[in-house]
Amino acid sequence: MSEPDNTDPSLQTPVPSTLMGAAVSFATSMARFAASGFKTVDEPLHQLRMSHCQPCGYRNDSQCSLCRCFIAKKAWLPHEDCPIGRWPC
Ligand code: SF4
């Protein structure tokens, strides 16, 4: 029997972002949003992303407890992603 691969990121417990990290991430994201010309994803993709967040154990009401983002807002941003890769795109 082989040992588990502890270097595989999918097997590691996600670590919530610190408040400072979340603040920096938010500022960076808003800069990228502005640089994109304030582009958003279309409604079907937004709904698809939200459908992955809805049952997620890391969702805390309207906020993701890992990245601390407000999910419904973040899901509109094309350059954003789920911190553990649960969004399809
Ligand atoms: S962004 Fe990812 S980790 Fe956060 S609530 Fe949504 S599916 Fe869960």
Give the distance (Å) from ligand 1 centre to CA of residue 1. Answer: 33
Neighbours of 75 (CB within 10 A): 23
Pocket of ligand 1 (CB under 6 A): 52-53, 56, 58-59, 64, 66, 71, 82-84, 86
Question: What is the per-residue pLDDT for 6?
Answer: 55
The one-character DSSP state at 70 is: B
CA 13, CA 73: separation in Å to the nearest integer?
A: 25
- pLDDT greater than 60 at residue 85: yes
Residue 70 in tokens: 């407000």
User: Tell me: the pLDDT tens digits for 51-77?
Assistant: 999 999 999 999 999 999 999 999 999
The mean pLDDT of the chain is: 89
2, 5, 7, 38 from 25: Cα distances, Å: 38, 29, 25, 17
3-class secondary-structure state, position 24: helix
